[in-house]
Amino acid sequence: MAINVEDQNGRRRIRLDDVVDIAQAAELKQILMEAIGSFAPVSIQVSGASAIDVTAVQLLWAALSHASTTGKEFAIVGPWDEEIERSLSCTGISPIMHSMLAQSGEEESNALAARR
């Protein structure tokens, strides 16, 4: 499965694995909506994804934007796979996504704290 959800230590963790594309878009949207509506801090782990298409990127961007306007603790934690980085660069949204992505050396809790 490309999308895994777990609640642990009062946090909701969503892990994207393998290929996340339009085939999983409806599932990802539902999971993100539920996560933002929950009271737990939310983190999206993208380091296990080998490919993320533009549909999934748009959903992540929308979720992060909504979370930031509502004060929700929400972080996208990387790093991106090199193939994903190349795809993002081709679309011109790489700088935008990098501004959303917690650096690979950051601890998840620090990433969440920085986005409060």
CATH code at position 30: 3.30.750.24
Q: Are 56 and 25 in contact (CB under 8 A)?
A: yes
**CB-based burial, 21-58: b 16+ in 10 Å, e otherwise:** eeebeeebbebbeebbeeeebbbbbbeebeebbebbbe
What is the pLDDT, as a whole number, of residue 98? 65
Range of the domain at 101: 3-114
Residue pLDDT tens, the chain, 116 long: 589 999 988 889 999 999 999 999 999 999 999 998 887 799 999 889 988 888 888 898 889 888 888 888 888 888 777 777 777 777 666 666 666 666 433 444 444 444 44
Q: Which of 7, 32, 42 shows the shortest CA–CA distance to 116?
A: 42
What is the pLDDT, as a whole number, of residue 16? 94
Q: What is the CA radius of gyration of the chain?
A: 13
What is the pLDDT, as a whole number, of residue 22? 92
What is the pLDDT, as a whole number, of residue 113? 45
User: Is cis: bond before 41, omega within 30 of 0?
Assistant: no
Total domains in the chain come to: 1
Give me the sheet containing 42-52, strands edge to edge. Answer: 3-8, 11-20, 42-52, 74-77, 101-102
If you search the block for the tokens 């509506």, which residue do you land on?
A: 37
